[in-house]
A and B are shown apart, each in its own frame.
Chain A
Amino acid sequence: MTIMMPASDQAVLARRDEIVAALRAIVPGEGVIDSAAEMVPYESDGLMAYRQPPMVVVLPDTTEQVSQVLKYCFEQGIKVVPRGSGTSLSGGALPLADGVLLGLGKFKRIREIDFDNRAVVTEPGVTNLAISQAVAHAGFYYAPDPSSQIACSIGGNVAENSGGVHCLKYGMTTNNLLGCEIVLITGEIIRIGGKSAETSGYDLMGIITGSEGLLGVITEVTVRILQKPETARALMVGFAQVEAAGECVARIIGAGIIPGGMEMMDRPAIHAAEAFVHAGYPLDVEALLIIELDGPGVEVDELIGRVEAIAQGCGSTTLQISTSEAERNLFWAGRKAAFPAVGRISPDYLCMGGTIPSGALPQALARIRDLSEKYGLRVANVFHAGDGNLHPLILYDANQPGEMDKAEAFGADILRVCVELGGVLTGEHGVGVEKRDLMPEMFSEIDLNQQQRLKCAFDAQGLLNPGKVFPTLHRCAELGRVHVHGGKLAFPDLPRF
């Protein structure tokens, strides 16, 4: 591990037995895990390069238990790390040695399906896909579809504001939420929103979404569900240059077409995917676009024609249009398997996730190529082309001394390039521990202080998931001080009318 976490509180560690007993009094039976062997599965999340056994794992199954656990921890000054399914790719659920790992895995019940209000009320441990499955019989689905949707929990989706390949058209988690229940570190239970389109007062649900477990523990979620589009078809288009593919993306959007999904892969990613799944990808192109149109059949047919014309106008060298569901799925098979496909050609890989303005793609890929040479590490790029979310996969071998550090440095440089090109550090994976120390690349100290003041409004002691998102932790009292500048002269130098 190369990242510094907050120093462990020795006084808390010394009281471990007492703490475990107190937690057992709240959550009986198997809900408290304190043996080293049984805690191993909780040592890391989807970012497996970082591991840390927690002090103790607690798996409550009611909101009341969550409330009591948090209240106890608050009163005793014990840190808490919330965890859903543990699929975070940024280390958002990485435990702390002196912290309670609070797992929501037992919250597995869908509480209500309300088709009239197009809403599902669910416990946070329910998987993303299970929500869609529960409403599929009536033609509905839940739109955000992170690639981990079979495993990731809806509570985790809220904490990370998860996206997916369809979010250009259908939005991220934050755009598909109606309500939530959270428990603050004090144990206080707060309900926000419901089945209405908007919440009252400040948009606190909006700020909790994507807050990476730093503001509260999510114990119930109400999501909006949609009717499934009548049909979907895809085009698979190859280009001899990345620039031409980028131009094609810009012209499609410029023509007023928002595809259900628009993905790009570069040559190394195409080759790795084709070798793995034999999707029929062209191997003599530099960039491959998969463009999916969804909606009524007549609309999809019309838009396929328009996109085809745009692609040809941009000099596509290969172009296939799916004529069946099987073929559409085959087009996607390679893209969806891109990560494991890269995993086959390299002992290890690091997946990055910055966002750039789509138009800067050729520049970004050129810079990544230069960095690849500089670091002597191969890289394959997959890209949510419509919204500029880049996923470079850095190939390395952790058994080679120093190579993991090199891969991480390479990844950090890529994210710096994203920010430099007008983009951001992360489009959908979150900051977590992985990008924590890069936050100053994007935000000034003043920006970060304002974010931390907001944290203080929820958790003044900084007990919830400390060590994530923010590189430097400040005391709330210090952040809350208002500095009175200048003298008492009101509004100097301003024109008055």
Chain B
Amino acid sequence: MDTLKIRDAKDVEDAVRAAVASEQPLEIIGHGSKRLIGQPMATNALLDLSSLNAVVAYEPNELIITVQAGAPLSDVLSLIDSRDQQFAFEPIDTSALLGTPELGTVGGMIGAGLAGPRRIRAGGARDHLLGAHAVSGFGDSFKAGGKVVKNVTGYDLCKLLAGSWGTLAVMTEVTLKVMPRPESERTLLLRGLDDLTANRAMTSALGSPFDVSGAAHLPASAFRADIGGLADLGSAGEALTLLRLEGITVSAVHRAKALAALLAPFGVAEILQDAASAAAWGAIRDVRPFAADGALGAWPVWRIVCPPAAGGALGQALSRATGGDVVYDWGGGLIWAALPPKPDAQAALLRARVNAAGGHATLIRAPEQVRRNIDVFHPQQEGLAALGERVRHSFDPRSILNRGRMTRGAAT
């Protein structure tokens, strides 16, 4: 397979136009950190954006950074960290989960749109993409959004690009909103709650005025693997419920105390301080209980998004029905489920229950043969799916870009 090393946005236009002319679909990659996610594609060449790696502008006082899409995420995170800023949506590092070495690029982070624990408070990748330059499947460079945090001029194309897995356009440059990194964090730790009780505790915390920025629950079974960042906190056989408070020190301390009082009916909370708290949330964000090199490394992993108060019951039912393990984030609104291997990754059973709870599920980790035979992305109601396909067609009518990655059967 050809690898086309892109030097500038014009190269992307040329490559896409040539691909249209020769009817050769392209796979778009940065560092390739998330290539294992999605339906297997039918592409003839790799469009490698890793050389488009410059920081174009960083304006900490305007809360924006503009970078080329191939910029390494690790470099950009270091840069904004040096000014005490961060991407508030807490992008997940999929390397442990997928067993790939790379953290990836900024373009990949946006294309995948996988947000971490703070999504409940700060929003997702889609809420932080302010502007983009991209090349459509027509081979045209177009601009979406702007370079300011407040903008309603024209359609908000950025929302579509975030989480589109490279199937709409090739982003060449993105402008992202950055936010101050909190001065301090505290995490309340409750031990031994069952899934339903933990769900209620998290609901109570998220309905409080204490501005909770993380609400996760790890059932006891999640600890069968050795988990960096969490290993110190629990031993096998004991569930952990974690609630995070961030901000200026005096406020985080105050709210941790107040929240502990509110949650007293659920037990006596231990309080983790800055580094210990950060390590725990890093492990939750990156789904370390299901790491590829851990005890459940061979199990397929699903990412389920559902109404948060329904999470406990859904997760419990799934683990009972399948013998799998679950980890809850977003107060129950995000469930990571590792299920014992089956040819369909237990898709039929899982999706029936997820649909009943009003959620949707994406298969994040599974062997290629499994991903080929089931819908990796959640099947949608007919009208919505047709509308989504018309939208895709409006950007890339010939399916030149990441053909078939989000739609089963579209690769052929």
For B, the interface residue count at a CB cutoff of 8 angstroms equals 109
A128 proximal to B (CB < 8 A)? no
A31 at the interface (CB under 8 A from B): no
What residues of A have a CB within 8 angstroms of the CB of B383 in the complex?
A: 188-190
Kindly identify which residue among A200, A211, A435, A485 contacts B155, using a CB–CB cutoff of 8 Å.
Answer: A211
Contact of B394 among A201, A424, A454 (CB under 8 A): A454
Q: Which of B14, B151, B358 contacts A492 (CB 8 A)?
A: B14
| Distance, CA A449 to CA B249, complexed state (A) | 50
- Contacting B at CB under 8 A, from A229-248, are 229-230
Q: Is the CB of B248 within 8 A of A302?
A: yes
Q: What 1/0 mask marks residues of chain A from 170 to 202 whose CB sits below 8 Å from any chain B CB?
A: 011011000000001000111110111111111
Flag if B333 contacts A302 (CB, 8 Å): no
Known A-B contacts A139-B209, A427-B148, A457-B393; the reply to A450 vs B21 at CB < 8 A is no
Chain B interface mostly helix, strand, loop or mixed?
A: mixed
CA distance A358 to B139 in the complex (A): 34
User: Are B250 and A302 in touch, CB under 8 angstroms?
Assistant: yes
Closest CB of chain A to B325's CB: distance in Å? Answer: 21
A200-B150 in contact (CB<8A): no
Complex Cα spacing A137 to B102, Å: 49
User: Is B392 on the interface with A (CB-CB < 8 A)?
Assistant: yes
B266 within 8 A of A: no
Q: Mark A412-442, 1 if CB is under 8 A from B, else 0.
A: 0000000000111111111100010001001
- A122 interface hit (Cβ, 8 Å): no
Interface residues on A, range: 35 or more
In the complex, the answer to whether B155 meets A210 with C-beta atoms within 8 Å is yes
Residue pair A196, B391 in contact (C-beta under 8 Å): no
A374 at the A/B interface (Cβ < 8 Å)? no
List chain A residues, Cβ under 8 A from B181: 256
B59 within 8 A of A: yes
Our pick among A254, A482, A492 for the contact of B398 (Cβ within 8 Å) is: A482
In the complex, chain B residues whose CB is within 8 Å of the CB of A457: 387, 390-391, 393-394
Is B192 in contact with chain A by the CB < 8 A criterion? no
In the complex, what's the smallest C-beta–C-beta distance from A353 to chain B, in angstroms?
9
B294 contacts the other chain (CB 8 A) = no
Interface string of A444-476 (1 = CB under 8 A from B): 101111110111111000000000010000000
Interfacial chain B residues near A362, Cβ < 8 Å: none
Q: B125 CB to closest chain A CB, in angstroms?
A: 10
Instruction: Tell me which residues across on chain B come within 8 A of A197, comparing CB atoms.
Output: 119-120, 124, 305, 308, 330, 333-334
User: Does B159 sit at the interface, judged by CB under 8 A?
Assistant: yes
Whether A200 contacts B380 by the Cβ 8 Å rule is yes
Q: In this assembly, does B368 line the interface, its C-beta being within 8 Å of a C-beta of chain A?
A: no
One of A168, A428, A490 near B21 (C-beta < 8 A) = A490
Answer whether residue A203 sits at the interface, using C-beta atoms and an 8 A cutoff: yes
* Interface 1/0 per residue, B140-158 and A, CB below 8 Å: 1111101111111111111
Binds B, one of A15-23, A57-65, A384-392: A384-392
B157 shortest CB reach to chain A, Å:
7
Flag whether A1 is at the interface (Cβ < 8 A): no
Contact flag A482-B138 (CB < 8 Å), given A117-B308, A203-B163, A206-B126: yes
Chain B residues within CB distance 8 Å of chain A: 2-7, 11, 14-15, 17-22, 24, 45, 48, 59-64, 84-85, 119-120, 123-124, 126-127, 136-144, 146-160, 162-164, 168, 179-181, 183, 203, 206-211, 247-248, 250-251, 254-255, 258, 305-310, 330, 333-334, 358-360, 362, 377-378, 380-381, 383-385, 387-388, 390-395, 397-398, 406
User: Mind listing 21 A-B residue pairs with CB under 8 Å?
Assistant: A114-B307, A196-B333, A201-B384, A202-B164, A206-B159, A253-B180, A256-B84, A355-B146, A388-B149, A422-B148, A442-B154, A443-B154, A446-B142, A450-B157, A451-B155, A457-B390, A486-B17, A488-B21, A489-B18, A494-B4, A494-B6
The 8 lowest CB-CB distance pairs between A and B, nearest first, are: A206-B159, A256-B180, A299-B251, A195-B307, A116-B309, A457-B390, A200-B360, A453-B394
Given A197-B333, A442-B146, A485-B139, 7 more contacts at CB 8 Å?
Answer: A161-B156, A253-B61, A302-B251, A423-B148, A424-B146, A431-B152, A489-B21
